[in-house]
Amino acid sequence: MTKSVEYFFSIGSPWSYIGFDVFAELAAKNDVVITPYLTTVVEENGGIFSRNRPEIRRAYWTRDLKRWARVRGKELRLEHRPDLSDPTPASLFVIAAYLDGQDWIGVARALQHAFWSEARDIGKPDVREAIVTSAGFDGATLLRRQADDDVQNKWSADRVHARDSGVFGFPTYVYDGEIYWGQDNLPFLERHLRGDKP
């Protein structure tokens, strides 16, 4: 029987990037339909942007990211990054691909890799268009679609749904009414998908 998981993530979240491929593989293996919701940290629910955390916690966060990146086989460029613009608008490319029935997972993967492994400025429209085009997608169409009402409306609605669902950080997976926060919770999500509900 097909199962459905609500997937809340952010292009600007390194944890979303680290856990992305593992989650996609888990979903395929367990006959899961993924419904994506893209937004930013939900501060109303207690989410905290990393830039607003004390330095000692930020230092630990960086070390933990590096450990998990090695486990997941991801290369993170965290130090000596150039000044980059806000990556949030790249979410609109993913939303457009999803609404159009395209490979939104592939679009998200290309943008996340460019931002987190290559430190490319995906906040700039021409940069993200080039990235997705080189990955085999129609970058011009996605660039044009990002301003359309249905894309903008989903972007707004995704934040409201995240807030109302109790989401505060990323990635978050919701299955059968149960919330799993963080890519390190994927083993628990998989147990639940296989019938072991907590």
Q: CB–CB of 35/5 below 8 Å?
A: yes
Superfamily the domain 1-192 falls into: Glutaredoxin (3.40.30.10)
pLDDT tens-digit map of 87-141: 999 999 999 999 999 999 999 999 999 999 999 999 999 999 999 999 999 999 9
pLDDT tens-digit map of 152-161: 999 999 999 9
Tokens coding 60: 């630990």
**For this structure, is 13 an active site residue?**
yes
Q: How far apart are CA 154 and CA 157, in angstroms?
A: 5
Q: 185-195 in b/e burial notation, b at 16+ Cβ within 10 A? A: bbeebbebbee
pLDDT tens-digit map of 60-95: 888 999 999 999 999 999 888 888 888 999 999 999
Catalytic residue among 10, 13, 16, 91: 13
Q: What is the pTM of this model?
A: 0.93
Q: CB–CB of 148/92 below 8 Å?
A: no
